[in-house]
Amino acid sequence: MPPTITQVNEAAREMVGDLEQRVGGKRRLRIVIGVVGLVVILLLLRSFVAHHKTQPAPPPRNVEVAKVTTADVPLYLDEIGTTAPFETVDIKAQVNGQIISREFKDGADVKKGDLLFRIDPRPYEAALASAQADRALAEANLKREAELVAKNVTARQEWDTAQANAMKAQAAVAAAQVNLDFCYIKSPIDGRVGLRNVDVGNLVGPGSPALVTVQGFDPIYTDFTVAEPDLAIVRQYLGNPKMKVVTDAENDNIPPREGDLYFIDNAVQPGVGTVKARGITANPDHALWPAQFVRVRLILDVLSNAKLVPSSAVQIGQRGPYVFVVKPDSTLELRQVKPGQQQGDLTVIKDGIQPDEMVVTSGQLQLAPGARVNAKPMEQSATSPSPSPAKIDNH
């Protein structure tokens, strides 16, 4: 059974009385308790003062910094595309006959007018000679009829018939000459021939498959697509003289090639959500080949005096992108910024910083606003825009 309140009070009085007897009375007990309390207060006060004593300032941290620069940079979309020949011609026979010679090597570059194949011309030479003989006879008849008409001793109908026969004979000669010319098959364009489909000795004609294919490499097309969400901004800049198509082949040492936007389709492809587009680019050295996969950069416009910082300077926090700005007194200020597109190792900053300010480029996780730093300039090569076109990286 638990003790009652009365029993607890009586036990407490007995303990106090016993304590008074040990220390020599109530007065002496109060003095002892007061001294103990004072000592405890002094110890607590000392601990509090020691805890709040001013800590020495940490030494400045060493950081790399870069200056905010300005430059004219492109506003662009990165895509994947393929190249296509500017012209493709299937070379076919236009007359019947036997191929008697091939005048090119497979895969060779040819010029417009270069001879590719020869078909046996002898039947067509004979046909031309026959037509020329008929023309001579018709012209002689026409001359005689003209003399008779002048003497008024022939019917007008005879003159008309002779005149028509002379014209028919002339047309037959022209047709025979065309057929003879078709025996000499020539390239209609500048380009590169592919692998031949027939050899010498084969009989060919207008119904035969293509003898060979010639493709034009200079200029060359770049085919790519624009995503439907980007269509609005592309349409905004259509007709802009600064709009360009930059084509870059992978795994080569050739700089990207700049061309013009040649075509953009008039509808979105159903089920795909993209719009077909085509650029045209000079290719005099044939560095780009048809059907080659390429990286494509559609430059919509050029941003004048854009503010640029190294991409490593831009960090992401709970409130969004930010940079650390080094103030003139070597302390840090955290600035929220609005970044734009990357330009190689640099990033465009639309808002939040000013030209010539210094930003921290490394070690931001160990920094805090107001901290003092020792600023060391970043290597210049990483903060300077490239003077020549860089390889496109749109992974």
Residues 150 and 110 reside in one and the same domain = yes
- CATH code at 348? 2.40.420.20
| Burial of 236 from C-beta contacts in 10 A (0-12 / 13-18 / 19+) | exposed
Residues 126 and 180 reside in one and the same domain = yes
> Are 247 and 83 in contact, with CB atoms under 8 Å apart?
yes
Residues 356 and 271 reside in one and the same domain = no
Q: How much is the pLDDT for 135? A: 92
> Are 359 and 66 in contact, with CB atoms under 8 Å apart?
yes
Token representation of residue 293: 């996969």
| Arithmetic mean of pLDDT, 345-351 | 91
* pLDDT confidence band for 384 (50 / 70 / 90): very low
Between residues 379 and 233, the one the model is more confident about: 233
Residues 286 and 361 reside in one and the same domain = no
Tens digits of residue pLDDT in 301-312: 999 999 999 999
Burial 344-368, CB ≥16 within 10 A → b, else e: ebbbbbeebbeeebbbbbbebeebe
Q: How much is the pLDDT for 144? A: 82
* DSSP assignment of 39-71: HHHHHHHHHHHHHTSPPPPPPPEEEEEEE-EEE
Q: Which of 302, 337, 359 is the last residue of a domain?
A: 302
- CATH code at 251? 2.40.30.170
Token representation of residue 32: 């002892």
Tens digits of residue pLDDT in 21-56: 554 555 665 666 666 666 667 667 666 555 555 556
Of 191-200, 241-250, 378-387, the least confident:
378-387
Domain extent, residue 26, equals: 5-51
Q: How much is the pLDDT for 8? A: 45
> Are 131 and 139 in contact, with CB atoms under 8 Å apart?
no
Closest CA to 311 of 369, 242, 192, 393: 393
Tens digits of residue pLDDT in 258-294: 999 999 999 999 988 999 999 999 999 999 999 999 9
Q: How many domains does the chain have?
A: 4
Q: How much is the pLDDT for 39? A: 63
pTM of the prediction?
A: 0.71
Residues 106 and 139 reside in one and the same domain = yes
Of 128-132, 347-351, 378-382, the least confident:
378-382
Question: Is residue 387 over pLDDT 90?
Answer: no
Residues 205 and 242 reside in one and the same domain = no
Q: Could you tell me if residue 184 is inside a domain?
A: yes
Residues 154 and 131 reside in one and the same domain = yes
The dihedrals phi and psi of 377, each to the nearest 5 degrees, come to: -60, 140
Residues 112 and 155 reside in one and the same domain = yes
Closest CA to 192 of 320, 321, 91: 91
Q: How much is the pLDDT for 63? A: 85
